[in-house]
Amino acid sequence: MRLKNSFNIHRCGQANLIVIIFTIIMFTGIILLFLSFLQERESRDYMNLYAHNLLLSILRSDTGYLDEGCKLVSDVIACSFSLKPWKCGNVIPCETLARQKVTKYLQEYGNLKKNYRYLFIVEPDKRIISYGMKKMTLKIGDESLENEKIEKIVANEKIQKIEHGSQKLLNVKIILAKK
């Protein structure tokens, strides 16, 4: 009889202990949930604006060369898709200069925002048949970003040139993601 009572008392103590542990776990969960609401997140609106301005800023910047077709970064990008080989200032091929300048500007802007990853892509628009254009894709930056299934922001622009009566249309995009 005494043994049975002692067993009941022990069981009751264990039940109380389990209830207390369960309550503590529940409260910890609630606290973590509440704290997650307080976390500050950089708004998607800002990242979107940043990506579009970054792309525009790179395309509109000067390259340092003054010959026609080489003045702006957008000019040298268009020139690098041309079948006719052209050297800016008779020194550097368009594609090399385009890669150099885009890489440089991405690095410089990357120093301002070190928590972002960037990928810059240029390809001919498939809807318009452009004669005298290389069928290639120019990729500069973190190429792994293209296939990764993470939250990304994509900004798009177009470069349009008319040369010898035919239209060249290039799709330019920049993919931005947080590190």
Partner 1 sequence: MKYKGQIQLMEQIITLFFIIIIIVFIIFFLTVWQVSRANVEKNRVEQRRAMNILKRMIVSEYLVKENSMFDDSKLTSMLDRCEDLEKLFGENWFAEIKIINGKNDIPCSPGVYDTNCNLWTYCKKKGNFTSYILPVNVYRKVGWIFRRGIVPKVYPAYIKVGVYHETKK
Residues that bind partner 1 (CB under 8 A): 1-2, 5, 9, 12-13, 16, 20, 23, 27, 31, 34, 37-38, 40, 43, 45-46, 49-50, 53-54, 56-58, 60-62, 66, 72, 105, 108-109, 112-113
Q: In the block, which residue shows the tokens 């209830």?
A: 19
Angstrom distance (rounded) from CA 78 to CA 22: 65
Q: How far is the CB of 72 from partner 1 (least distance, A)?
A: 7
Q: Which is nearer to partner 1, 37 or 84 (CB)?
A: 37
Q: Which is nearer to partner 1, 40 or 144 (CB)?
A: 40
Cα angle 100, 156, 86 (rounded to 5 degrees) comes to 35
Angstrom distance (rounded) from CA 124 to CA 126: 6
User: What tokens does 154 get?
Assistant: 């994509």
Q: How far is the CB of 139 from partner 1 (least distance, A)?
A: 20
Q: Which is nearer to partner 1, 32 or 150 (CB)?
A: 32
Identify the helix (H) or strand (E) that includes residue 117. strand 116-124
